[in-house]
Structure 1
Amino acid sequence: MSVQRILIFLLAALLAACGKPEPIVIGFIAGLSNRTTDTGEAARNALTLAIEERNAAGGIGGRPLRLLVGDDGQDAATAHQAMQALIRARPAVIVGPYTSAMADVILPLADAAGVVVLSPVITAMHFVGKDDMLIRLNRSTRDNAADYARVLAERGLHRLAVAYDVRNRAFSESWLTELRSQFPAYGGEVIAAVEFESTADTMFSEVAARLLETEPDGLLFIANAVDVARLAQQTRKLSPNMPLAAAEWAASEQLVELGGQAVNGLLIAQSHDRTDEAPRFTAFRDAYRARFQRDPGYSAIASYDAGIVLFQALERRKSGQSVKDAVLRHGPYPGLQHLIEIDAFGDSTRPIHFAEIRDGQFVLVR
């Protein structure tokens, strides 16, 4: 091949490369192979939808977005390995994790690598008010426990027995601590707290029996949807009319699907309004249904909001500006149902809506 032909070939290859802008890598980490799969899959689906829509609109500055998914398995070693793999891909940001226990594992890695972690849902108090690489798009356990304390007392529940999952200890113990602190102001008391470790072999019948032997006014479960469904079923066998409540972690569609009649009457908070008929929310809901053949739950809505935050911050990011600084400075962000404002520590908040499960549906009660 002549030198002239070689030069023409190299020039053509260079022009072809120039015609394909380098994608912006967006990392994602959640539990996709364990008992919190429902929230992880819904979150991944919503972020996938957000990225597909953004790419169809031209990406960010003409660059497409590429999603790279990691499974934390709700296991420290698995999460550590998944996070390291994501960091090696040099993502602009990593969306996740979806439990406080996994945040404890991956945040030191993110801090060391200087990679922003944008968590749509974590709430534990020890993540609040810190200048690190974590951006939170949710309320805190203090906020949620205070609202639960008030609503439970208004419903006449003053002697509460609590079961909590220590596999997500960072969240469940923070939530329980805040409830114990807030409940007395409303005349309430946590009279018993029974810990358990979420596994396929957990004896939920024993947990329910230990709670009920304290003769409470009601039971509260701080656990994922699968375990709350099992706890409710075992409780109904022993005390059919016992009032039940669950922390917001369990507020996914899987709770209703698995719990059946046992979760009827259960009180639970949600970070979104399922009855919202505003055009922007219904457009998202309809697109999600069409793409994934199911309704979006709280982790899906929060993750789509994370996409909104990320895209606006990257689009407005100035030359030389870090991603973290861009996220902190280029808000507020128009979330699906509320205006997202992020403070100097990367903390945010969300509205709260209490629902009661009735005949397989989440029905707003306040």
Structure 2
Amino acid sequence: MKKFCAFLIVITTALLAACSEKPVEPIRIGFIGGLSGPNSDNGQSGLNGLTLAVEQFNRAGGANGRLVEIIAKDDAQSKETATTSSNELVAAKVEAVVGPFTSSMAAAIVPITGQAGIFQVSPTITAMEFFGKDDNLFRINRTTRDNAGDYAKVMHGRGQKHVAVAYDLRNRAFTQSWLDEYRTAVKALGASLAAEISYESAKDTDFEAVVAKMLEAKPDGLLFISGALDVARLAQAARKLAPQLPIAASEWAATEQLIDLGGQVVEGLLIVQNYDRDDASPRFKEFSDAYFKRFQRNPGYSSVSTYDAATVVLTALKNRKEGESVKAAALRSGPYQGLQQEMAFDANGDTVRKVYFTEIREGRYRRID
């Protein structure tokens, strides 16, 4: 009887100790991107990519038994909203942030998160303003210099040596950087720009007037440095006013929404992708199938890039040593195997990325040689 009572005391003590233990706190990471407004397709697709990556990570055991929780914030493509959302993420004491998705928002967000010592990975920003800086920011994408330079070569090779450009001032940190790099690359090829037409995207923007100004210079091609919704509207005006002119758009517009919105007017449009949509590898197919099953839609460049960004963040959290910063763990843990290509970062968080030029044909992005 004494042994039995002693046994009961041991069991009871163990149970009470277990009940008194606090549950393991999750690791909180932030997400910040445009979840409302005209370019919310990029932000929402990005949040989907992060959600899928975190759910898979947690099912696999998380960061050594600790689960990861996402705190998502909208920047609404507004400096004021982005500032508020960034401060809220800092107050929530997130250990890392995935986002933002446009360079103009990064200009408002990165100083806040960087000063707070929060490691941040942007899936999509490319502006030269963020290249070569030790600012606690890693970028998954290549730079505007890389992309604009490749566009200049491809379009020049197609005989377009006097291109007119329209660019949206609402994301000026990106569009101005892209235009400056494109102009420099075009001049290096012995050509020149026909026109540089700026506008600020809004519900009442007269896109036909924008295209009309582009056409005054008698260009041999039209290039739009704008988001998907604006490119669809600009393409509609271009098909009306100059149906035979070739059209192109910067990578900012390369979303699923572009084809849905543009329909026939974006047929033949030249645009670059930072991933291979036709990849039939088992790794990418598994991701695509899981993404479709979870969200009932196919992934786009934003979701692919964000999934890769999540790979960096989650690997760093899992590998982090006691007292080590997430950034230090991220630098130590690379290179990383992304969905389609390896990612290696320098000390400033910069990397290179292979891209693929496509044309929209029969309602699909199709690779060109």
Normalised by the length of structure 2, the TM-score is 0.95
Q: How does 1:227-246 map to 2 (within 5 A)?
A: 227-246=230-249
Q: How does 1:302-313 map to 2 (within 5 A)?
A: 302-313=305-316
- For the aligned residue pairs, the C-alpha RMSD in angstroms reads 1.5
- 1:203-250: CA deviation from partner (whole Å, max 9, x where unpaired): 101001100111101000000000000000011111111100000000
Check whether the contact 1:149–1:188 (CA below 8 A) recurs between aligned residues. Answer: no
Check whether the contact 1:160–1:189 (CA below 8 A) recurs between aligned residues. Answer: yes
CA pair 11-353 structure 1, distance change in 2 beyond 3 A? same
State which of 85, 89, 99 in structure 1 corresponds to 2:88: 85
Shift of 1:187: 3.1
Give runs of ≥4 in structure 1 deviating > 3 Å: 8-14, 16-19
CA pair 10-216 structure 1, distance change in 2 beyond 3 A? farther
Shift of 1:13: 7.2
State which of 102, 107, 124 in structure 2 corresponds to 1:99: 102
Aligned equivalent of 1:155? 158
Aligned equivalent of 1:164? 167
Whole-Å separation in 1 of the counterparts to 2:17 and 2:230 = 56
CA pair 316-175 structure 1, distance change in 2 beyond 3 A? same
CA pair 170-357 structure 1, distance change in 2 beyond 3 A? same
Aligned equivalent of 2:6? none
Does residue 78 of structure 2 align to residue 75 of structure 1? Answer: yes
Aligned equivalent of 1:42? 45
Shift of 1:341: 0.3
Aligned equivalent of 1:122? 125
Aligned equivalent of 1:5? none
CA pair 114-264 structure 1, distance change in 2 beyond 3 A? same
Aligned equivalent of 2:289? 286
Shift of 1:16: 3.7
Farther off after superposition, 92-101 or 177-186: 177-186
Shift of 1:317: 1.3
Whole-Å separation in 2 of the counterparts to 1:104 and 1:14 = 49
Q: How does 1:1-366 map to 2 (within 5 A)?
A: 15-16=18-19, 18=21, 20-366=23-369
CA pair 252-13 structure 1, distance change in 2 beyond 3 A? farther
Whole-Å separation in 1 of the counterparts to 2:174 and 2:102 = 7
SS of equivalent residue, structure 1 residue 190:
coil
Aligned equivalent of 1:3? none
Whole-Å separation in 1 of the counterparts to 2:288 and 2:324 = 34
Whole-Å separation in 1 of the counterparts to 2:130 and 2:334 = 21
SS of equivalent residue, structure 1 residue 152:
helix
Shift of 1:359: 1.3
1:56 maps to amino acid: R
Shift of 1:18: 3.5
Whole-Å separation in 2 of the counterparts to 1:195 and 1:17 = 63
Report percent identity of matched pairs: 51
SS of equivalent residue, structure 1 residue 189:
coil
2:190 maps to amino acid: G
Q: Which consecutive unaligned segments of at least 5 residues does structure 2 have? A: 1-10
Shift of 1:9: 11
Aligned equivalent of 1:4? none
Aligned length: 359
Whole-Å separation in 2 of the counterparts to 1:106 and 1:33 = 17
CA pair 233-20 structure 1, distance change in 2 beyond 3 A? same
SS of equivalent residue, structure 1 residue 161:
strand
1:153 maps to amino acid: H
Structure with higher Rg: it is 2
Whole-Å separation in 1 of the counterparts to 2:17 and 2:245 = 71
Whole-Å separation in 1 of the counterparts to 2:235 and 2:182 = 20
SS of equivalent residue, structure 2 residue 238:
helix
- 1:161-208: CA deviation from partner (whole Å, max 9, x where unpaired): 000000100000000000011112223211211011111111101001
Check whether the contact 1:269–1:353 (CA below 8 A) recurs between aligned residues. Answer: yes
- 1:224-277: CA deviation from partner (whole Å, max 9, x where unpaired): 000000000011111111100000000001110001100000000000000000
Whole-Å separation in 2 of the counterparts to 1:189 and 1:245 = 16
Whole-Å separation in 2 of the counterparts to 1:235 and 1:9 = 78
Whole-Å separation in 2 of the counterparts to 1:91 and 1:16 = 27
SS of equivalent residue, structure 1 residue 310:
helix
Check whether the contact 2:194–2:218 (CA below 8 A) recurs between aligned residues. Answer: no
CA pair 191-89 structure 1, distance change in 2 beyond 3 A? same
